[in-house]
Amino acid sequence: MNSVPLECTCAVIYLLKPTTLPVIKLTHQSSAENPFTKLPSLWYYKCHVWYFNYQIMNMTQRLCCPTQLRPHPRNSAIYGDEDIIELVELIRQSGWIKPLVVTPADTIISGHRRWKAALSLELESVPVEVRKFPDELTELEALLLENASRFKTTEQKVREAQAWRELEETRAKLRKVATQNNDAGRAVMENFPHLPTSKGTTRDAIASRVGLGSGRTYSKAAKVVSQIDEEASLGHLEIAQVLRKVLNEQSVDAAHTLLKKSPEERQAIANLIANGEAKSTFHARQVIRRNNYTGLSNPSQIPSLSQFQVGALVFVDIDRREAASPQEKNWNGFWGIVTQIGEMGSLAVNVGSESLRLFSRDLKPIDLPSKDLRDVVSRLLKLRSLELDEIEERMLDVIQRREWLTSKQLIHLDNIEKLYPLAESMKTEEQQPAQCRSP
């Protein structure tokens, strides 16, 4: 054995690209079975794999007519029908196309967009690399890995994550069966990266692998994708397309929130976005509120715009289900003064420290307010415009929620005014309408 060159004693195990090939696990064998045991220990661990002629063993290159190739059956389900206009122009100008990766049966593993571009350009042939894969699971894994570094939409990332999960679950079952059959060779997980076994950590690992961040984000996005498929299967293509647009162009949270809406409101939002009347779900909900759309059983309960005028006293009464901002909802139950009525039906309400842009459905008019109440409103809104400490703010919060005040509450208001000479020096006439921000 010592007279045999070292190169001849090195067995060829496997050689593939790092992104597509299995992780080789070393196992100790008896000296009778393994000639490497007679080598020095350092060479035993360094020379267990010898890089042989990979193109001869696992891959060949040739030219192929694009019409003879066929797409992988899972590619369209994961990545959809993608735009190739720019790619077609790039190939037309450069005259170069990167080799496609195909199986011996001419099934495309990598290069579906290039293949479509070649068909569009009516090319007679394209370069391909023919690779052999031991089974369909390895083909699917190669398909996912070949697309690992490309740009993907959120929907594509979700569908990739679902494919990875399916792949791992199938391999886990095969390993379990192999273990039960004492097939140690198949029981070793060679190809797929190790994932945690608990549900939460597995979900997080898959989400991180496809670039979705956390497992929570992946779960939300997966629900949206499932709804997209359901709507498409029912023929509701407009809603499916709007959900896809919100998921890919806005955010996972925006799309997930849209799922929680009633079917009627979801349809209304979809119509506004599809027709170009709204650019986002938030904008669509604002338009719906402006037009007094409601799911209430008695829409007549909504105050008419004619009930309000500049200078009117109102209570802020925003429905918690509406698409108002959290800052606006924080003023629920507080009174203020209408300072402006917009052309589109919105009203500006001065609540002291800021001006809110609301709609008639968000307000409840105070009928025939007393002169004393108007005097309190004027004094309190002046104080609100000053820098107050936390205790004073809380005391004013209590007063600004009441239509009738006790003598003790009026004393507290007097004491706060005495602490701020600027408030006492202000003009006593009714406060001028405040400028409100644009919607």
- Residue 178 counted as domain residue: no
- Residue 159 counted as domain residue: no
Calpha distance 298→421 (Å, rounded): 49
DSSP 23: P
Count of the separate structural domains present in the chain? 2
Q: Tokens 């002169």 — which residue?
A: 371
Give the pLDDT score at 248. Answer: 93
Picking from 260, 290, 320, the residue at the C-terminal end of a domain is: 290
Give the pLDDT score at 38. Answer: 42
Picking from 255, 290, 325, the residue at the C-terminal end of a domain is: 290
Picking from 290, 322, 339, the residue at the C-terminal end of a domain is: 290
- In single-letter form, the type of residue at position 265 comes to E
Name the stretches of the chain with pLDDT < 50. Answer: 1-57, 187-198, 293-301, 427-439
Beta-carbon neighbour count of residue 326 at 10 Å? 6
- 285 and 309 share a domain? no
324-328-333 Cα angle (round to 5): 115
- 344 and 385 share a domain? yes
Domain that holds residue 377: 305-425
Looking at beta carbons, which pairs linking 404-409 to residues 24 or more positions away fall under 8 Å?
404/373, 405/372, 405/373, 405/376
Radius of gyration of the chain (CA): 34
- In single-letter form, the type of residue at position 181 comes to N
- Residue 366 counted as domain residue: yes
Give the pLDDT score at 238. Answer: 86
Calpha distance 399→376 (Å, rounded): 9
275-277-280 Cα angle (round to 5): 100
CATH code, domain with 342: 2.30.30.30
- 410 and 361 share a domain? yes
- 265 and 359 share a domain? no
